[in-house]
A and B are shown apart, each in its own frame.
Chain A
């Protein structure tokens, strides 16, 4: 709870930073605040406290995912700070919105009441709608924001309707009550409909096929740093909430809907990866890649067994590390070469060897090559599905991983085996060091995955 309060307070302070003209303090304050909030989370480890009349519970699951989201936010804010220009008018407001968004994430991953779930999702979503339109005078940014809002509102309807139907079926918003009532009465039509509508709402939030339509347009139109934020923090929180809801409320009747999620996962992986192949813009390619990764993570939601929590957590960390650094590299390339096709990565290995290294590591991790964190992310998810007998889903996942190599390796090949006459790329100080740090973390987790995998 302290964690949540401090996050919100931090957001408010950052917001006033813009009005009261202490911009230069905003970044250090936010970084310190996020670290402090994370420490509060660590302090609360194993305490398992409930708050607000049992509407949310800070268990280890909630703390772990809160910290992952806060770490992602911290990185985003740092990079946003590195890259912002002096005449960026809404610098402090953007940071504030990110902090509000992560507060929403903290609510989403700790709810024990469907109202809190809804509240958290809305806090996150509203912040993201605004962030997507951060470049007020950029048409694409505006389009992105509007599309996101319209389609988000559309899906929120399903979410709310699902909650309402569940309330009708069980008489409660509390997850314990819902699970209890469903346990007694079994799954009736109204509850099943509620479950499916909730599932649809959440599938939209995690951008699974056929609810992925908003993703490429929104991701491409939004400023790249915001895209990185949406693709990592937003997605991780949505998955954590998705899994938490189904673990708390619907785990006993999973046989009924497992195949539904499995089918969606399979289609999502295949479609996301196949569509990514044709993209010339690397940023848009990464948007499709994030759709594909949602498919992989859905496998863990589908299996819904004891190892699901740990494997989603590991996957989230691996995916966040690799995605943030790849979006950042795309941003560097965009700024230096005014475009982000694979050709714009030509000769990166010669001109900027460290950036090329970071690119290679993050792409290898995203495609799941061993000795990177991405490999173990996939390994944990796939092996729990295999042990539950979902061989066919894993087969589809492996095939689509093959396909993904085609497009993940394209910028890497360009960076190392093609020539360029363009000058060395320049970037704000600190960017390179941070990117190398992320790469090393990715490799470290690829060698010693036990650090995170068994923690919850």
Chain B
């Protein structure tokens, strides 16, 4: 293990600098090469390390570059930490990131901000790598903030559209709320452990009793950060709006990598969470509620990207449920498979949108199966994967989560299983509305629809392979293998002495397999009846909808409630403090102080009369006072 690991984040940073400073002088061709190439180099380095870790010649290391913040007792090093968990994240971020970069070359080809786009994307990769490679929570926070910034920049990439910049603002502000929790958690860590270095914090935590209130506070504060970044209740509403950004951004940032930062963070801090089972319960409840709620919303949305966005929120909920059940490696497993199939889904949706000239409404799609064969087949694989159809990737990761929750609480298991049914339902609805039946757009458009270029379809194919086979990295015992991924991650959780062992029940797994197959078959039949034979398109006239549909279609009015309960009162307070309080009280005080000083100056200068006699008299008075004061101070009176 040498310093080459340090290069992983800095190569994309170099790409950002070149493309960012060079824009728009660097030609599109070069911008694409630099943008994709820099991420590919990082991917290669990460791969070398990963292969070393498989052959056993790898040890987890901390690389300290320099002391960064030194103040009093606090010392924060600019240092990186690489272990098996980091390596998995590095492979996902650079691998999936690279594929999405390549895809963007085709997707963004006609955009005038091409070079700018790639510089932002590279900057994002840099910060994401800092996030997963940081050796202390402060470094993680840098990456955390940096990816937030890039997310903001890329959501508002087409900033001339006011709605898009509003969406960017919303994402940024919602994330601030979570970040506040995160940074307070870091402060509390400094107070408790005197450091934010992983090794010191985790070592120091072993002295605390289970559910010690400080540990509960730290873990809950960190989780607030995760709620913001990973779009959980109550801060999830920014993510659907974030779909305003270009589709590759949605795939990379708002599906595969950034939004999973919270999941990574909880897994990284597993020792802390295991000390605070109360926090784990909070994680479970929040994850579960989010998974259910957003699946319910996804089932009626008519914007293809909105469906995928709510699906992402729902799947992130799954990951948190897994971590809440102490199945940290299952959470990471689902993070990985989700990165494959959700990136694929977004890129496939992007391919559809690209073909239809920026049409995102499912109502105006349909029958694209023949016209976009590659997109269809790959998205079909991804749909099977996310629905948990065996043996696609999502089946194994969801299966692990379900088994883990069953041990903890059957109630959670059943709710989560029902959510899986919902997941399959909304995904097949999307698939049928897009690709089956007849085309519902204009005739004129129909003739212009053609499959996306190679540079876009090849990444789709690679991701389809990963979505199909990725699950075999975590085959359960029932199928003969022994959870390769969780064994690979074992060293990460080895220090966690309070981790509960998971037992496996073959019966439960067989039940899950059978149920999944039956449920998906039923859904298939149902979708076929409804969307192909009856040609039902999503409704538009709200008045005729049943109540549950209306609620779901309008996202349970959460945005409106936030507006009434939080935003309106805040605006009112702002108006009050700006209009009344500042104008009268603050300005009055400040200007009054200023006027008083100037007035005082006008009075004081009058003692400067120019008359020597007066000067001497004043000085003598001063001398007498000074002598009295001085002698009394020296106790000589």
Within 8 A of B (CB), among A173-191: 187-189
Determine if A260 and B604 form an interchain contact, defined as CB atoms under 8 angstroms apart.
Answer: no
Q: Which of A102-110, A207-215, A226-234 contacts B (4 or more CB under 8 A)?
A: A207-215
Point out the residues of chain A lying under 8 angstroms from B627, CB to CB: 193, 196, 200
Chain B: minimal CB distance from A143 (Å): 8
Q: In the assembled complex, how far is the CB of residue B85 from the closest CB belonging to chain A, in whole angstroms?
A: 42
Q: Is the interface of A mostly helix, strand, loop or mixed?
A: helix
B window 603-637: CB within 8 A of A:
604-605, 607-608, 610, 612, 615-616, 618-619, 621-623, 626-627, 629-631, 633-636
Cβ contacts A186-222/B at 8 Å (1 or 0 each): 0111001101100110001000011101101100000
For B633, list chain A residues within 8 Å (CB).
256-257, 259-260
Q: Which of A150, A196, A256, A277 is B598 in contact with, Cβ under 8 Å?
A: A277
**For the complex, is A147 an interface residue (Cβ under 8 Å from B)?**
yes
CB distance from B618 to the nearest CB of A (A): 6
Interface size class of B (residues with CB under 8 A): 20 to 34
B609 to chain A, nearest CB (A): 9
Cross-chain contact A277 with B630 (CB below 8 angstroms)? no
Whether A210 contacts B630 in the complex (CB less than 8 A), given A147-B612, A274-B600, A275-B604, comes out as no
* Cβ of A307 under 8 Å from chain B: no
| Cβ-defined contact, B623 with A200, below 8 A | yes
Dominant secondary structure of chain B at its interface with chain A:
helix
Alpha-carbon gap, A403 to B602, bound state (A): 14
Residues of chain B with a CB closer than 8 A to A276's CB: 601
A196-B601 CB under 8 A given contacts A151-B615, A213-B608, A213-B615: no
Given contacts A154-B619, A210-B621, contact A275 B601 (CB under 8 A): yes
Chain A residues near B615 (CB-CB < 8 A): 151, 213-214
B597 near A: Cβ within 8 Å? yes
Number of A-B residue pairs at CB separation under 8 A: 84
Contact A216 B601, beta carbon cutoff 8 Å: no
Q: Confirm or deny: A314 has a beta carbon within 8 angstroms of a beta carbon on chain B.
A: no
Which residues of A lie under 8 Å from residue B597 when comparing CB positions? 274, 277, 403, 406
Q: Of all chain B residues, which has the CB nearest A196?
A: B630
Interface code B583-597, partner A: CB below 8 Å = 1, 0 otherwise? 000000000001001
* Chain A 231-273: CB-based contact to B (< 8 A → 1; otherwise 0): 0000000000000000000000100110110011000000100
Considering only residues 40-72 of chain A, those with a C-beta below 8 Å from chain B are none
Cβ distance B496 to chain A, nearest Cβ, rounded Å:
45
Cβ-neighbour of A256 out of B604, B618, B622, B634 (below 8 A):
B634
Q: Which residue of A lies closest to B621 (CB)?
A: A210
CB contacts (< 8 Å) of B612 on chain A: these are 147, 150-151
431-456 of chain B: CB within 8 A of chain A: none
CA distance in complex: A376, B266 (Å): 44
Residues of B near A327 (CB, < 8 A) are none
**Chain A 158-175 residues near chain B, CB threshold 8 A:** 158
Whether A278 contacts B623 in the complex (CB less than 8 A), given A196-B631, A214-B615, comes out as no
By beta carbon, the residue of chain B nearest A147 is B612
Contact with A along B16-51 (1 / 0, CB 8 A): 000000000000000000000000000000000000
Q: Which residues of B contact A420 (CB under 8 A)?
A: none
**Is A279's beta carbon under 8 Å from chain B?**
yes
Q: What CA separation (Å) do A257 and B635 show in the bound complex?
A: 10
Given the contacts A200-B626, A260-B629, A275 and B605 also touching, CB distance less than 8 Å? yes
Report 19 cross-chain contacts, Cβ distance below 8 Å, ordered by A residue.
A150-B612, A151-B612, A151-B619, A158-B623, A188-B636, A192-B634, A195-B630, A196-B627, A204-B619, A213-B618, A214-B615, A256-B633, A259-B633, A260-B629, A260-B633, A264-B626, A278-B598, A278-B602, A406-B594
Kindly list 9 other residue pairs between chains A and B, CB separation below 8 angstroms, not including A151-B616, A274-B601, A278-B605.
A158-B623, A192-B630, A193-B631, A196-B631, A199-B630, A211-B619, A260-B633, A275-B601, A277-B597
Q: Which residues of A contact B (CB under 8 A)?
A: 147, 150-151, 154, 158, 187-189, 192-193, 195-196, 199-200, 204, 209-211, 213-214, 216-217, 253, 256-257, 259-260, 263-264, 271, 274-279, 403, 406
